[in-house]
Amino acid sequence: MAKANVPAPRVTSAAETERLGEWTCTDEINYSDSDWTMSIFLGGLIAFGSAWIYVPLGIGGWLVRSSHPVIGWTMFAIAITMAVFAALFMYVSVQAGLEVRRRGKLLLHEFADGLVIERDRGRAMAARYVDITAELFQFENSSDNHPTPWTEWVVLLAFPDGSSATVQGTSESQVLQRRLAQRCGAPLTRNVLTVGEIAELRDKNQWE
């Protein structure tokens, strides 16, 4: 979990309204959510740059279309198709990257008697621990770069207004997940899920 700065005035104001007590810490949570989006964003820019390599192919096909119609039109069609595909991919990826920037970071501010969850470019909401329903989950994750599985933790927080959010972290940061579950009155026994089940859980409980 990446540490963030002290709470903004609107956060402290919301905390005072709900009488959450003294501020203890602030964390940027789920910051890995934007990793895939930013990767697509960068991929789109690369696709845009690589699209230019098809320009000579298209020009070459156009120039030889009369003397070698099959080869010429094939080259031209391939160039046009790849250029259109690259343009569409670039558009989608850039839009995804801009959406991440628009939404901003997701911050969790902990206070003595409750918390404030905040999109730094969106809304903020305060709730007391006793009014939040929490559930703790655990799953084994892996990647191509790190084939050895590692343990990750997720706590699901359901707020009084009907919204919900998940807080994810690695085994090194499980203290946060366990602390939140405990403060909200949830048992520390965790439910073990698969990666697919965790992905579905997080998709269904994204806090905007």
Per-residue pLDDT of the chain (208 residues; tens, 9 = 90+): 445 467 889 999 999 999 999 999 998 887 655 555 556 666 666 766 666 777 787 888 888 888 888 888 888 888 888 878 777 777 776 666 666 666 678 889 999 999 999 988 888 999 999 999 999 998 887 766 767 777 788 899 999 999 999 987 654 557 888 899 999 999 877 788 888 888 888 888 887 7
d(CA 136, CA 149): 19
Q: Are both 208 and 157 inside the same structural domain?
A: yes
Instruction: Let me know: does 96 contact 41? Beta carbons within 8 Å.
Output: yes
The per-residue pLDDT for range 26-83, each reduced to its tens digit, is 988 876 555 555 566 666 667 666 667 777 878 888 888 888 888 888 888 888 888 7
Last residue of a domain, one of 97, 128, 159: 128
Q: Are both 118 and 188 inside the same structural domain?
A: no
Torsion of CA 180, 186, 190, 191, to 10 degrees: -120
Q: Are both 67 and 31 inside the same structural domain?
A: yes
Angle between helices 35-51 and 69-103 in degrees, nearest 10: 150
Instruction: Let me know: does 157 contact 176? Beta carbons within 8 Å.
Output: no
| 26: amino acid identity, one letter | T
182 CB contacts (<8 Å, ≥6 apart)? 188
Last residue of a domain, one of 106, 128, 150: 128
pLDDT of residue 196: 84
| 94: amino acid identity, one letter | V
Q: Are both 98 and 165 inside the same structural domain?
A: no
43 is written with which tokens?
């991929």
Q: Are both 97 and 141 inside the same structural domain?
A: no
d(CA 199, CA 64): 51
Q: How many CB atoms neighbour CB 101 within 10 A?
A: 12
Report the DSSP beta bridge partners of residue 2: 28
Domain that holds residue 12: 1-128
Q: Are both 44 and 73 inside the same structural domain?
A: yes
101 is written with which tokens?
């920037």
